[in-house]
Amino acid sequence: MKFIVQGGLNRPGLQGSIRVPGDKSISHRSIMFGSLAEGTSHISGFLEGEDSLNTLRAFQQMGVHIEGPLNGEVTIEGVGMHGLKRPAHALDLGNSGTSMRLLSGLLAGQQFDVKLTGDASLSKRPMKRVTDPLSMMGAKVDAADGGKPPLKINGNQALTGIHYQMPMASAQVKSCCLLAGMYATGKTCVTEPAVTRDHTERMLTAFGCDVEVTDSTVCIDGPAKLIATDIDVPADISSAAFFMVGASIAADSDITLLHVGMNPTRTGVIEILQLMGAHISLSNEKEVGGEPVADIRVQSADLKGINIPESLVPLAIDEFPVLFVAAACAQGQTVVTGAEELRVKESDRIQVMADGLQVLGVNAQATDDGMIIQGGDIGSGTVYSHDDHRIAMAFAMAGLCTSGDIHIEDCETVNTSFPGFAELVASCGLSIKVVDE
């Protein structure tokens, strides 16, 4: 599947009031914790994308009765901490690194062996970052060459709590350790070098589990127990980010994004855009199920290039593909450093975005840990997403700033995080055509 985006430079920008799909990170965790809880949990706003559906299917294969999703509604009959059953086959997690890394910790405490597999992209992603601390806790996890998937997790291992100093800022690694800590004897603590998203800590608390947070350290006492609760999944700020950038760079734009998750560990994209001069305002702010939400209004702005503070990088790590597009449309130079984590996402997002921007005539130079972009005009051409959903959607938004067409190849994976993306952005004013090849 590919996208063909008709240049929008001489047309009105993005308009309307929309709600993007539910938060992927929260959707994953709602299935995991609801399955391990005692009692029945109801989830609303669940993201019906392939990644979170793969998590849902995995727990169904381990004997959990889950109804839905139907219009974002899911009902989970929890089986308790020790109620999962050995699946008949390997658990195929598709493209979802979150599923594999979090499940590694959760399954390390089970009494059965299980194998975790994924698609070609996931099979290239580094897993030593979770298998190393799990081994320190007493887990036995076998990986393929280079510490890559598939992973075989050996059951019936006695886990012991540890204090782990994370070498990199990663919410997935932190969460993996905390989930294993629920099955360990004693206290498990994780200290992170920079702030990362805290959905795991917030949702564990919502499910009745005591989580201790002190500065950059999170601790959990094992063995733990979860009690069923209801979760309202807010709209995903990572998905909303495409519209924030699109409305900022396209003339005559005025768009409102409804009920977006405003977790302070995820709002780096807003802070970065505001530093670049974006016109972004919040309204209807409230808290739902332990997560802050708000409506976000974005209007056209003349963006300027900046040196992005490294402190904001972990708070916007998933949004950088589209932030690179914002930088390409800004006046002046934008410099990104401290973002080497982008090289081990669904694709090497630094190199893939630099290559694509260069095809479109942008002076974009990849560095080891980021990019240097000279803003200005964007041209037309054919770019490749390398089966990375965020790359595909980022280049679609670049079409708002060009007079020619942009052809984007390999867009099937958009459905992993944003089903209906093309239809929704078209309803707001982008001329986009989906071609099944």
Known catalytic membership, residue 436: no
The total domain count for the chain is 2
pLDDT at 164 over 80: yes
Bridge-based pairing state of the strands 114-117 and 91-92 = parallel
Per-residue model confidence (pLDDT) at position 172:
96
pLDDT digits (tens, 9 = 90+) for 116-160: 999 999 999 999 999 999 999 999 999 999 999 999 999 999 999
Name which of 28-32, 37-41, 194-198, 258-262 the model is least confident about: 194-198
The range of the structural domain enclosing residue 88 comes to 24-232
- Say if residue 178 is in the same domain as residue 320: no
pLDDT in tens, 270-310: 999 999 999 999 999 999 878 999 999 999 999 999 999 99
**Last residue within a domain, chosen from 217, 232, 247:** 232
pLDDT at 437 over 80: no
> 52-99: per-residue pLDDT in tens?
999 999 999 999 999 999 999 999 999 999 999 999 999 999 999 999
Average pLDDT over residues 3-20: 92
Catalytic residue among 51, 232, 295, 318: 318
Percent of the chain with pLDDT over 70: 100
Q: Do residues 101 and 153 share a domain?
A: yes
pLDDT for the residue 230: 95
**pLDDT at residue 8 in the model:** 79
Backbone φ and ψ for 144, nearest 5 degrees, come out as: -80, 180
316-334 pLDDT, tens per residue?
Answer: 999 999 999 999 999 999 9
Q: Are residues 264 and 155 in the same domain?
A: no
Tokens of 223: 């063995």
Q: Which two tokens stand for residue 181?
A: 């800590």
Q: Name the band, by pLDDT with cuts 50, 70 and 90, for residue 10.
A: confident
**pLDDT over 80 (residue 167):** yes
Q: What is the pLDDT of residue 219?
A: 98
Statement to judge: residues 127 and 227 lie in one domain: yes
In sequence order, the β-bridge partners of residue 185 are: 160
Query: Is residue 317 helix, strand or coil?
Result: helix
Same domain, 282 and 164: no
Q: Which of 183, 199, 232 is where one domain is finished?
A: 232
277 in the same domain as 207: no
Order of strands, sheet of 114-117, starting from the edge strand that comes earlier in the sequence = 91-92, 114-117, 151-154, 140-143
Give yes or no: residues 228 and 332 share one domain: no
| pLDDT (mean) for 199-213 | 96
Q: So what's the pLDDT on residue 428?
A: 97
Q: Which residues pair with 38 in a beta bridge?
A: 227
CA distance to 29, 35, 67, 111, 205, per residue, from 225 (Å):
15, 12, 23, 17, 11
In this structure, what CATH number is given to the domain that contains residue 302? 3.65.10.10
Tell me, what amino acid is at 345? K
Mean pLDDT of 166-172: 93
Last residue of a domain, one of 232, 256, 272: 232
> Do 224 and 162 belong to one domain?
yes
User: What is the percent of the chain where pLDDT is above 90?
Assistant: 95
